[in-house]
Amino acid sequence: MKSKILHVRQRRRRLWWLAPGLWALLLFVASSIPGTSYPQVSFAFADKAVHALVYGFFGGLLARALANEFPGWTRFRVWAVAAGASLLYGATDELHQAFVPNRSPDPKDLLADGLGAGIGAALVLAYLAGTARLRARRPSSSPSSSKEGVTPARTQPPRG
């Protein structure tokens, strides 16, 4: 029974990797579209804002998966690996764009990717830390974890 529970936990833990994997695939597909096919946005730095948002989401997904996979890691380590992996993926994405018609790599896009990934990972880790603090404050409802809810053993009154 114990091994069955462990197997379910491992499978559930692996599911957290599905979201960043699918997001990375979506990023690859989107960056494969020729440059003339994208709608033009009118405000200044719109392209950089989109990069920051998209990679912020990616960094957050990676941070959540890493925090779940490696619960013993410090938040800083999870943040650094999530932001670094997102930035590395952003670099390969920019390189990939060199081979797509009407697209070109841009170091400023990579900077926006890195900033977004770092902020997204930090936001997710702050959220996880906050929810962990709330769970720690909440009294446990399990009867075995506290004396409340434990029925005392019946004793016979002394005969006298």
The tens digit of pLDDT for each residue in 45-70 reads: 888 999 999 999 999 999 999 999 99
Is position 148 within any domain? no
21 — phi, psi (to 5°)?
-65, -45
* Count: domains in the chain: 1
Average pLDDT value over all residues in the chain: 85
Nearest by Cα to 117 from 63, 74, 75, 71? 63
Instruction: Establish if 52 belongs to a structural domain.
Output: yes
Chain-centroid distance, C-alpha 25: 16
Radius of gyration of the chain (CA): 24
Domain that holds residue 50: 2-33+44-137
Q: What is the pLDDT of residues 120-157, one digit of tens each?
A: 999 999 999 999 888 888 876 555 544 444 444 555 55
C-alpha–C-alpha distance, residues 64 and 86, integer Å:
13
Taking the model in full, what pTM does it have? 0.77
In contact, 119 and 129? CB cutoff 8 Å = no
Evaluate whether residue 149 is within a structural domain. no
Model pLDDT, residue 19:
95
